[in-house]
Amino acid sequence: MHEITFSTVDKPKLLSQLTSLLSEIGLNIEEAHAFSTVDGFSLDVFVVDGWPHEDTQQLRNAVEKEILKSKGNLSLNQHSLFPISEHSQTQSICSDDFVKIPIDGADVWEIDASLLKFDNKVGSGSFGVLYKGSYCSQEVAIKILKPERVNKDMLREFAQEVFIMRKIRHKNVVQFIGACTRPPNLCILTEFMSRGSVYNFLHKQRGAFKFSALLKVALDVSKGMNYLHQNNIIHRDLKTANLLMDENEVIKVADFGVARVQTQSGVMTAETGTYRWMAPEVIEHKPYDHKADVFSFGIVLWELLTGELPYSYLTPLQAAVGVIQQGLRPTIPKNTNQKLAELLERCWQQNPTLRPNFSEIIEILQHISKEVGDEGEDRHKDKSIGGFFSALRRGHH
């Protein structure tokens, strides 16, 4: 898969002409994004497949050749073609006003598998194994696809995860380090999160969050999710197992195996995620948007509050049926902060349009935190986030 960007003077039917140009080369357009500036320029970004070679120089030459053939209809400067980044899968055709970044042919995220060092296995799933290790002296988490389980769907999911993660930069989203895309060593490297998942803390270590710690965790998650949504990324599998804790007491959103860039229509279909946290519109295979993540966040917030597994008395399938047929939701404890209880109920509204955005959720959580933060701080030292993690370090679960 390759990303091709055209920057030129805006003109009528430009997008149609560029589409035809790529089609003539034999490329299939998976995504197209068109932007126009107020001063009359156009930026058109295409994600394409169908190019049979890894060598992107050949693709660049083919695009240049097609531009020359079309120069009577297409006013692009043939001398302005150069890669906009060092990423070997990204080629661009840019106006001469762009800063020309030197390139050396190196791929900025493709890693050398021979430089990987494995320490110990952290976890295992049906399709992959997670290891703690190091790469060029940096501590990393290494997710390796099991070769015997690799199929076309898995490869598509793997490619999508790399495609999304390489663009993400936020302190509340697990940082992508690199990937190896050459079989049989298919793997993704991220920063290593030393304290593991929130799910393991709650349900395996039998830990519990004091209220101030809960608000801090919820804010971290909300900020990470707000960043993803602002970049048109829907996570689609938000749950406590995908919330990881680092050594600096920061919670980060992880695992983008089923995440997707939101379509231009704004809605998506197909079931994905985990039933206990899944929004009703997703369970029912109805079109959905970023508000599906907000529903999942509501379930996560309840889980942080209670320390219980959602619908623990039901199988995942029974829970899904209850959610869509009976409007089933977890029971909010009676002593819950009123504003937090109201937020929970808003997040898991049946109608997605009634759910808040994460930007609003952040404001609500900050307001609640301010209200309760100083109140009783001196009387209840153990409610601090530091106190919580100190207890975690001592193994007092």
List binding-site positions for ATP: 143
What backbone torsions phi and psi does residue 22 show, to the nearest 5 degrees? -65, -35
First-last CA distance in the chain:
46
237 is catalytic: yes
Residue 41: is it exposed, middle or buried by C-beta count within 10 angstroms (0-12/13-18/19+)? middle
Asked if residues 328 and 311 have their Cβ atoms less than 8 Å apart, the reply is yes
The CA dihedral of 29, 54, 185, 122, to the nearest 10 degrees, is -50
| Long-range contacts at 156-161 (CB < 8 A, ≥ 24 apart) | 157/257, 157/258, 158/186, 158/188, 158/257, 159/1, 160/256, 160/257, 160/259, 160/260, 161/188, 161/256, 161/257, 161/259
Asked if residues 141 and 246 have their Cβ atoms less than 8 Å apart, the reply is no
Q: Report the distance separating Cα 5 and Cα 33, nearest Å.
A: 9
- The one-letter code for the residue type at 352 is P
- The one-letter code for the residue type at 21 is L
Q: In this structure, what DSSP letter does residue 173 have?
A: B
For 233-392, strand residue ranges (E) read 233-234, 243-245, 251-253, 260-261
Catalytic-labelled residue, pool 44, 220, 237, 255: 237
∠ CA(223), CA(390), CA(296), 5° rounding? 30
Asked if residues 145 and 126 have their Cβ atoms less than 8 Å apart, the reply is no
Give, to the nearest 10 degrees, the angle between helix 56-69 and helix 14-25. Answer: 120
Q: Report the distance separating Cα 179 and Cα 186, nearest Å.
A: 7
Catalytic residues: 237
